[in-house]
Amino acid sequence: MNRMSNKDRIAHAAAEAQAKEKEKAAAKEVKKETKPKARTKKVVVSARMKVVWEVCGGSGVALKAFPYSEKAGADADAAARTNSTGKQHSVRASKVPME
């Protein structure tokens, strides 16, 4: 193997640096040619919710729904269902979308 002189090493390093610069310039041209994709904004739709009272059976299935202002009616219906069937019925608040 031949040993390179200092002058040859510097010339070789300069040639490699120029080759890298050409590659970077070519890569930038390729990147400039591609158009960026249009970004779509996420539309956040906040659905308005309202609270209703649901009369539920023992398994938690809603049997009947009452407006929020009629809690006494929901309690009375739950008591009537408990007395008529002998199984426990309860009232719970639930959020539903506004109409």
Long-range contacts of 2-9 (CB under 8 A, 24+ apart): none
In the prediction, which pLDDT does 15 show?
94
pLDDT one digit per residue (tens) for the chain, 99 residues = 578 899 999 999 999 999 999 998 888 776 655 667 788 888 777 789 999 999 999 898 999 999 999 999 999 999 999 999 999 999 999 999 987
Q: Do residues 89 and 55 make contact, with C-beta atoms less than 8 angstroms apart?
A: yes
Domain spans, the chain: 1-33, 49-97
In the prediction, which pLDDT does 33 show?
56
In the prediction, which pLDDT does 96 show?
93
In the prediction, which pLDDT does 99 show?
77
